[in-house]
Amino acid sequence: MSTIINLVGAKGGVGTTTTAITLAWLGGGTVEHVGDHPDDLDAVIGGPERSFGDADLIVRDLGTLAGIDFDEISAPGRTYLVTPACYVALRRILEADVAEMELDGIVLIEEAGRALDASDIEAVTRTSVVAKVRRDLAVARSVDAGLLTRRVPPRFVAHPLKQLIPSTDSTMAVR
C-alpha cells in the first residue's frame, strides 16, 4: 500500500508545489497535482516527469485553501498545511477554519524579518509546526529555471522535509 502525503497551501505562492516536488524527489516517490494550476508541476520540474524512483510514496499537491475540495483534506494519508508566518496567510487560514480540519501538521516556510512566527501559526491552527523550511533564493532560481529536480536541495531545505517521509532511506544525497 502506498504512503500518501497531502500538502495544501494557505495561499498561492507559498511553496506548496515546490515542497511537494521536493518531498517526492527526496523520498524517491511520485508527485501528483490535484489542486488548482496543474500545469505548475511541469514548469517547476522542467518537464512531464512525475516519478523520481520506485519508492511506494505519493505526494499530492492539493492546491490552496481557497480552491480546495475539503473532501480532499480527509483523503487517505497524512495532510500538512504549507504556510509562511504572515498576516495574509493567517487570514486565509482563519477564513478556511483550518483549526477544524484534521491536519497532521504545519510545514512552515520561514522568511527573515517576519513579525509572526511558528507559535502564532500554531495558536491559530491548533496544530503543531512539524517542519521549518527556510525560504532560499537558490531554490527559487532552480524553480524559475525549471531545474528543481536536477539540483540537490540545500541541507536546510532537505533535512526538515526528510523527517516527513516515513522511510529513512532516501534516494537523494543531501549536502
Domain assignment of residue 71, yes or no: yes
Whether the CB-CB separation of 118 and 132 falls below 8 Å is answered with yes
Domain assignment of residue 169, yes or no: no
Domain assignment of residue 173, yes or no: no
| pLDDT confidence of residue 174 | 38
Residue 143, domain extent: 3-162
Average pLDDT along the chain: 85
What Cα–Cα distance (Å) separates residue 104 from each residue in 54, 61, 79, 127, 159? 25, 15, 5, 7, 19
| pLDDT confidence of residue 84 | 96
Any idea what the CATH number is for the domain that residue 158 is in? Answer: 3.40.50.300
Condensed to tens digits (0 to 9), the pLDDT of residues 25-34 reads 899 999 988 7
Domain assignment of residue 43, yes or no: yes
State how many domains the chain has: 1
Domain assignment of residue 19, yes or no: yes
Of 43 and 107, the one with more pLDDT = 107
| pLDDT confidence of residue 73 | 63
Condensed to tens digits (0 to 9), the pLDDT of residues 51-77 reads 888 889 999 998 899 877 666 666 688
pTM score: 0.88
| pLDDT confidence of residue 142 | 86
